[in-house]
Structure 1
Amino acid sequence: MSRELRSMLAVASEILDSVSPRFVEGIGAPSAVTKGRNDFATELDLELERTISAELERRTGIEVHGEEFGGPQLTSGATWVLDPIDGTFNYSSGHPLSGMLLALVRDGEPVLGLTWLPLLGRRYAAVAGGPVLLDGRALPPLPQGKLAEAMIGFGAFNVDSRGRIPGQFRFDLLGPLSRLSSRVRMHGSTGIDLAFTASGVLGGAIVFGHHPWDNAAGVALVRAAGGVVTDLAGAPWTITSGSVLAAAPGVHEELLEMICTVADPAATEEE
């Protein structure tokens, strides 16, 4: 861990710690900004993004790209990528599986990731090269695993949904995944799926979303843990990827093989 990244991690941790009480206090906040079908932001999303972004820019001099207000492009230079409330539907409903996601991205690569889960009392952090820290304690690297012994996090699901990765493709994955894995879990939070994968709670995670604020922090964590991260077609994950397949070594290969027997996910994303 370089001295610079250690410093950045310390600053980012302090800032997320400082707003965690506000995050806990605001659970159950109603929708304030509608962004699409069953997608919205609360007033607290907006408040937290403004507060965190202002502090990050003041203390590090690096601009922020947030879910709610956008920011600079992410394929070159250094930028913080922020999701002030990941799992917004959960959060607004009073469900504790939600958190704050923050990554430092350099030339499109996440080199630092933080996933703060104040309602669960857990703080995951890592810089490129590892290790993953859980509440400041270093976790061991992910061991080689088997899909049959692994729980797998599964992303947002509605069989009638259309778009880049249609609901029917997601539905078609569920059958073989339920047969081949130990258990399937839908947490409603990409950040939680990826943090749990990095810490070994889950053997892997299938993420259908493409937004960098959802994915970058968790990708940094899984890579730091020694996991494998690609898109659903098996191409190396980048900040512009349309999906995420993250898993422990061994489990990733089995998941990818299973996905490719169902359909060509790359072709699916192009539809």
Structure 2
Amino acid sequence: MAAELAELLTIARDVLDAAAPRFVEGVGAPSAVDKGRGDFATELDLELERTLSRQLTERTGFEVHGEEFGGPQLTSGTAWVLDPIDGTFNYSAGHPLSGMLLALVRDGEPVIGLTWLPGLNQRYAATVDGPVHLNGQPLPKLERGKLSDAMIGFGAFNIDGAGRIPGIFRFNLLGALSRLSGRVRMHGSTGIDLAYTASGVLGGAVVFGHHPWDNAAGVALVRAAGGVVTDLLGRDWTIESKSVLAAAPGVHEELLDMIGETVRAADTAGRGSDAGSEER
């Protein structure tokens, strides 16, 4: 299995490398498909997903589940999971913090993860057993850390937002995090938050989204680096999880305690956030 994964990782690297110049060329592309409030796809999203999906399927025999066109179900069997442009808002604005995310998922578990950040000339890749490679060079395993020393990536929010994890809960969580962590960072890209957690740039990442194309590649990287990945409730992350909490050992435990205290405070105040019961 290790030899097979290594071969598939090499193919995936080649495919993403070939697409990187087109990715860079398209920076600043305007919205082409409206997907809801504050969410859209550019023509490059569509083009890159078609191109990458075709090449991956032809070269590996595995189908692709992409953000824009969907694909096979992911709880069983083997498939690639692709986000052709992660951080689309950044990308369309000409901001360099965006990238291509690709994972190979087997029976719901990511076994290969790649995060390509062409605007930063950074390429993160790993198989499930590690190590994580940055631009072809292996990175050390994550060491045990403390939240007070760590920068934490934090997902986007609108304080007036409703849904599974309401904006007011995210706001309260951000406040608690600002008191306990070294620094908070909002990159506007789940892929960057998770890749930087895997490399040790960040001590952890709080991800409110549940889409597999956003999360699978980064989850594979963090696990390969020796990090801890759960949902916000502390349950092991799976392809069906509704959120991600990824961090270095030690930091993860402190983040989980902080989230639990914020949930309890919300319940006591009678605000009833779904964040505390999203999977109960």
Aligned residue in 2 for 1:58: 58
Q: Which residue of 2 aligns with 1:4?
A: 4
Three-state SS of the structure 2 residue aligned to 1:263 is helix
Q: CA deviation at 1:268?
A: 4.7
Question: Who is 1:177 aligned against?
Answer: 177
Amino acid at match of 1:198: A
Question: What's 1:215 paired with?
Answer: 215
Alpha-carbon distance, 1:267 to partner: 3.3
Residues 115-161 of structure 1 deviation map (CA, whole Å, 9 limit, x = unaligned): 00000000000001100000010000000000000000000111011
CA RMSD across the alignment: 1.2
Match of 1:16 in 2: 16
- Residue 203 of structure 1 aligns to which amino acid in structure 2? G
Query: Runs in 1 of length 4+ with deviation above 6 angstroms?
Result: none
Could you tell me which residue of structure 2 aligns to residue 258 of structure 1? Answer: 258
How far off is 1:177 after superposition?
0.4
CA distance in 2, matches of 1:48, 1:166: 33
Summarize the alignment of residues 1-271 of structure 1 with structure 2, pairs less than 5 Å apart.
2-263=2-263, 266-269=275-278
The 3-state SS of whatever aligns with 1:241 is coil
TM-score normalised to structure 2 length: 0.95
Contact 2:194 2:218 in 1 (8 A): yes
Percent identical residues = 76
Task: Spell out, residue by residue over 1:186-244, the C-alpha distance to the aligned partner (whole angstroms, 9 max, x if none).
Answer: 00000000000000000000000000000000000000000000000001000000000
In 2: Cα distance, 1:153 partner to 1:110 partner: 21
* Residue identity in the other structure for 2:50: R
Bigger mean CA deviation after superposition, 260-269 or 245-254: 260-269
Q: Do 2:165 and 2:275's aligned partners in 1 also have CA atoms closer than 8 Å?
A: no
Q: Deviations over 1:18-47 (max 9, x none)?
A: 010000000000000000001000000000
Alpha-carbon distance between aligned partners in 1 of 2:3 and 2:103, rounded to the nearest angstrom: 17
Q: Partner letter of residue 269 of structure 1?
A: E
Letter aligned with residue 79 of structure 2 = T
Q: Could you state the TM-score of these two structures normalised by the residue count of structure 1?
A: 0.98
Distance apart, 1:269 and its partner CA: 2.9
Aligned residue identity for 1:94: G
Residues 144 and 249, structure 1, Cα contact 8 Å, conserved in 2: yes
261-270 or 170-179, which deviates more: 261-270
Distance in 2 between the 1:254 and 1:102 partners?
A: 29
Quick check: 1:164–1:270 contact (8 Å CA) kept in 2?
Answer: no
In 1, Cα distance between equivalents of 2:132 and 2:158:
33
Range moving further from structure 2, 80-89 or 257-266? 257-266
Partner of 2:205, secondary structure, is strand
Q: What CA deviation, in whole Å up to 9, does each residue of 1:153-198 have, x standing for no partner?
A: 0001110111111101100101110010000000000000000000
Tell me by how many angstroms 1:266 deviates: 4.8
Mapped partners of 2:132, 2:115: distance in 1? 11
Gapped regions of structure 2 (runs ≥ 5): 265-273
Question: Does the CA contact (< 8 Å) of 2:164 and 2:275 recur in 1?
Answer: no
